[in-house]
């Protein structure tokens, strides 16, 4: 069962479509691997092998080319409903039998995936250690004495051990990222609301998301694209289109914490591994920009010290009242505290969080993504059992703030330390930038030349980006859409890439409009009678260009702009009739200079 067999989703689907392996053979291999791996703590419930094979055989009647996950075996964390399995949340007393699939599982099945089992977790998804379950502790796939990581312990170890190429986890405080690092796999934590949470047992309902474990970034992004999309059944669902993967950008800016702000709890090997990862990013062409991590740490403290614990309490309050002994003692201790919180505590924390969100927004004004260790260190199972709450909270150092600040995240393997402990980094960006994180994370992971998971399987060369991504249209922006300005996030959310900064021909005048947020209007005048105005050219896919232009409000318009070097490009102009009450600011030569001067005035 070595590297000659298809391991990744991409390789498995290709083998099935080519006929070199059938979905039924793949499913049979999966069950053989589960038997060989021989860890009863990975799955809480496993489907009958003959049923899974029968489903795989039925797929043969379908059009393989139309099914992105054709015959791919998938494991699902046991706090997500899947028809035919009980949902336990790792608490037998809580167990129920769902009457239909969760939306995420339904979409996976519709794409040709075959659900083979429900995986173990830290009970009620409370924990980053993976040792808080009555169903046992899954073995870490890389080093057996280490914790598997939680709460999605079974899902991460199943992918790391090569039992399945894809599994679903959940992520409220880091449960889709910490176990990914600990098993040398990719953990994708999407923007909140991108994957429906209908059919998910909540941990903190306002912060939960379903996450993806896979061996490569491309596999994880494919799975996300299948599950993403709004859902009437989930009031927290948001329409967040996933943009295409794009080439590595020319001027990527990654945020790294200021000197002295990183915490590794004395783990020098982790500290060295992070420093090496920064060098790798620099070699790939990224600019590293320092930022203040302290507000993010403060946000992280709110998660367990603030009122969000009450959300965990709401899920199990009836069980706490009727059968408290059925709940894991550590989970019980953490969750029971939620009963003592008041409405005043909640509003006080929400006000503070809103302030912290504004600080985070400013941080991202001139940074594309944060680049952090996935976890500061790691622990053995024995250490975690001896000191369950403190060590668990240390593992959340760089993860607990993410959903509170509405960020998306991608955890990627970075290196294997000399002591055999895997180390990983996480990229974080404002919601909606999932495709951008995948586009840069895939290049970094490939550059590490690490094998995938625990089986020593080499990474295949990076797949060329689909031809569609070359179908790009340039657009010139002169004001609030410039890098670091108020509306630049709109371009990034559509996976726009900055191509260059340049100037117009000297044929334009610039005006400050009375809009919210403040914007300039650029007007074409007689050739040579205006000034050269600074602008940026961004590139959008044709579908993103259509969406972007369609959303532009009056008095802005898209027209043809002549550049200083004689080229023409589509870009922002203004309708002249609104300029009566606007202030002319042509002499500043550009919006950025005007804004900077206005700020100091």
- Residues belonging to the active site: 77, 151, 175
Task: Give the ranges where 38-152 is alpha helix by DSSP (H).
Answer: 49-59, 103-110
At 201 the three-state DSSP class reads coil
Question: What single DSSP character describes residue 516?
Answer: S
For residues 113 and 146, the answer to whether their CB atoms sit within 8 Å is no
φ, ψ of residue 229 to 5 degrees: the values are 135, 150
341 to 156, 322, 569: CA distances (angstroms): 33, 21, 57
130 to 138, 318, 521: CA distances (angstroms): 7, 24, 55
CA gap 158, 178 in Å, rounded: 15
Look-up: residue for tokens 């080439």? 247
Per-residue burial over 62-79, b = 16 or more CB atoms within 10 Å of its CB, e = otherwise: eebeebbbbbbbbbbbbb
For residues 273 and 279, the answer to whether their CB atoms sit within 8 Å is no
Extract the tokens encoding 291.
Answer: 């930022």
Strand 422-430, strand 497-503: pairing: unpaired
Separation of first and last alpha carbons in the chain: 69
* Burial of residue 149, with CB atoms counted within 10 A of its CB: 0-12 exposed, 13-18 middle, 19 or more buried: buried
User: 3-state DSSP: the chain helix, strand, coil percent, rounded to 5?
Assistant: 40, 20, 40
Look-up: residue for tokens 């200021």? 258
């Amino acid at each position: 069962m070595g590297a000659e067999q298809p391991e990744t989703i991409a390789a498995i689907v290709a083998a099935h479509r080519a006929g070199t392996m059938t979905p039924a053979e793949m499913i049979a291999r999966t069950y053989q691997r589960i038997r060989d791996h021989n860890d009863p703590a990975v799955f809480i419930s496993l489907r009958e092998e003959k049923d899974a094979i029968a489903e795989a055989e039925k797929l043969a009647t379908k059009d393989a080319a139309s099914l992105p996950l054709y015959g791919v075996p998938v494991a699902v964390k046991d706090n997500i409903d899947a028809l035919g399995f009980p949902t336990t949340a790792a608490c037998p007393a809580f167990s129920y039998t769902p009457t239909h699939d969760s939306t995420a599982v339904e979409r996976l099945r519709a794409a040709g995936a075959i659900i083979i089992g429900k995986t173990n977790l830290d009970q009620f998804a409370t924990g980053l250690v993976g040792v808080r379950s009555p169903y046992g502790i899954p073995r870490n796939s890389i080093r057996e004495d280490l914790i598997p990581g939680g709460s999605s312990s079974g899902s991460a170890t199943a992918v790391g051990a090569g039992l399945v190429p894809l599994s679903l986890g959940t992520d409220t405080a880091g449960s889709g990222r910490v176990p990914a690092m600990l098993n040398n796999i990719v953990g994708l934590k999407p923007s909140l609301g991108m994957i429906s949470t209908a059919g998910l047992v909540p941990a903190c309902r306002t912060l939960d998301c379903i996450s993806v474990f896979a061996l490569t970034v491309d596999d994880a992004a494919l799975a996300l694209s299948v599950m993403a999309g709004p859902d009437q059944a989930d009031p927290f669902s948001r329409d967040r289109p996933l943009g295409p993967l794009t080439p590595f950008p020319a001027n990527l800016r990654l945020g790294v914490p200021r000197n002295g702000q990183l915490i590794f709890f004395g783990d020098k090997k982790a500290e060295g591994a992070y420093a090496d990862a920064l060098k790798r990013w620099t070699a790939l062409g990224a600019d590293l920009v320092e930022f203040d991590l302290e507000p993010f740490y403060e946000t992280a403290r709110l998660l367990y010290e603030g009122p969000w614990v009450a959300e965990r309490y709401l899920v199990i309050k009836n069980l706490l009242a009727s059968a408290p002994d059925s709940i894991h003692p550590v989970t019980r201790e953490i969750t029971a505290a939620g009963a003592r919180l008041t409405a005043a505590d909640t509003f006080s924390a929400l006000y503070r969080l809103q302030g912290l969100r504004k600080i985070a927004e400013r941080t991202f004004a001139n940074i594309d993504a944060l680049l952090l260790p996935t976890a500061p260190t790691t622990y053995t199972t024995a250490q975690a059992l001896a000191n369950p709450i403190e060590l668990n909270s240390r593992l959340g150092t760089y993860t607990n703030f993410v959903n509170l600040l509405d960020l998306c995240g991608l955890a990627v393997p970075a290196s294997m330390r000399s002591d055999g402990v895997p180390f990983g980094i996480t990229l974080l960006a404002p919601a909606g930038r999932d495709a951008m994180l995948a586009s840069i994370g895939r290049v970094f992971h490939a550059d590490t030349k690490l094998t995938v998971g625990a089986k020593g399987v080499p990474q295949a060369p990076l797949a060329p980006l689909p031809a569609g991504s070359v179908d790009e249209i340039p657009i010139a922006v002169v004001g609030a859409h410039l890098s670091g300005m108020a509306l630049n996030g709109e371009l990034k959310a559509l996976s726009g890439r900055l191509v260059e900064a340049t100037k117009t021909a000297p044929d334009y005048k610039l005006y400050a409009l009375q809009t919210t947020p403040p914007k300039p209007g650029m007007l074409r005048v007689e050739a040579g009678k205006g000034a050269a105005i600074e602008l940026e050219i961004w590139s959008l896919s044709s579908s993103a260009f259509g969406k972007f232009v369609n959303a532009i409000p009056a008095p802005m318009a898209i027209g043809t702009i002549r550049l200083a070097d004689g080229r023409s490009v589509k870009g922002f102009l203004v309708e002249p009739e609104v300029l009566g009450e606007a202030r002319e600011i042509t002499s500043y030569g550009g919006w950025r200079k005007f804004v900077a001067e206005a700020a100091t005035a």
